[in-house]
């Protein structure tokens, strides 16, 4: 009886030691993730590490997916596609505001493919708002401030917002349409993922919301204000 008890005790202790290790291992990306990161680095002409994604306009995520066909729902031009479930992984990288996606079958790293034309199994990566006090805002924020100065007919500087009723902030956003989630009369809307910036100015209690596409400073506009 005593030996049986000691055996159970030792087994329980081993289980306690092993479970955290398994949990930690399960949270790690699969090996093909490193292949995807290396391929993206080659495409961008630089060596990438995960540390390169620790900024307000970058992030990475991965997940398991049941793809619906042999192309992993991302067919190449002229590729013959066979319907049928393929278990795999989806890796999404956002680097400096630009989204890149890779897919791979779970048991075959050689099937890794850069997915520029997905037909299904899409999931969005949303960058959370971050405090921006320790990083410089994009230069186009100065255009927004200048536009606000013209609208209010006063010469505003960033120091103008250092009081109880005034403040300013900015963040990177992934908008779900070409109008940056702020419809404007007479303009067509394309439902495509559009990276961009949002600048919020609160001046003497009045809030002004500016938005601009990431790679098109000329597209800056006032979404709401007054």
Secondary structure (DSSP) of 153-174 = TS---GGGG-BTTBEEEEEEEE
Q: Render pLDDT for 39-93 as a digit per residue (tens, 0 to 9).
A: 999 999 999 999 888 877 788 888 888 899 999 999 988 899 999 999 999 999 9
List all residues 6 or more positions away from 217 whose beta carbon is below 8 Å from its beta carbon. Answer: 139, 140, 143
Instruction: Note the pLDDT of residue 36.
Output: 97
Report phi then psi at 147, rounded to 5.
-65, -40
SS3 (DSSP) at 60 = strand
Instruction: Note the pLDDT of residue 25.
Output: 33
Residue 163 DSSP code:
B
**188 band by pLDDT with thresholds 50, 70 and 90:** confident
**24 band by pLDDT with thresholds 50, 70 and 90:** very low
Burial string for 54-89 (b: 16+ CB within 10 Å, else e) reads eebbbbbebeebebbbbbbbbbeeeeeeeeeebebb
Work out the burial of residue 14: count CB atoms within 10 Å of its CB; fewer than 13 is exposed, 13-18 middle, 19 or more buried.
exposed
In the predicted model, what is the mean pLDDT of the chain? 82
Report d(CA 195, CA 192) in Å as an integer. 10
pTM of the prediction?
Answer: 0.51
- The token pair at 151 is 């609208």
């Amino acid at each position: 009886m005593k030996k049986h008890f000691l055996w159970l005790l030792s087994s329980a202790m081993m289980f306690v030691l092993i479970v955290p290790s398994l949990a930690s291992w399960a949270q790690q990306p699969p090996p093909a993730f490193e292949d995807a990161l290396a391929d993206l680095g080659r495409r961008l002409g630089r060596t990438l590490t995960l540390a390169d994604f620790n900024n307000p306009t970058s992030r990475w995520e991965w997940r398991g997916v049941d793809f619906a066909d042999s192309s992993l729902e991302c067919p190449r031009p002229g590729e013959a596609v066979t319907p049928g479930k393929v278990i795999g992984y989806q890796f999404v990288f956002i680097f400096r505001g630009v989204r890149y996606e890779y897919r791979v079958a779970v048991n075959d790293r050689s099937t890794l493919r850069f997915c520029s034309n997905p037909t299904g199994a899409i999931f969005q990566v949303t960058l959370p708002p971050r405090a921006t006090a320790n990083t410089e805002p994009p230069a186009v924020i100065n255009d927004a401030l200048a536009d606000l100065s013209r609208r209010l007919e006063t010469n505003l500087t960033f120091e103008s917002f250092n009081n109880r009723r005034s403040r300013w902030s900015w963040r990177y956003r992934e908008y779900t349409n070409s109008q940056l989630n702020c419809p404007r009369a007479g303009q067509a809307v394309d439902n495509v993922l559009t990276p961009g910036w949002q600048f919020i100015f609160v001046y003497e209690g009045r809030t002004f919301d500016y938005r601009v596409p990431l790679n098109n400073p000329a597209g800056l506009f006032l979404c709401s204000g007054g």
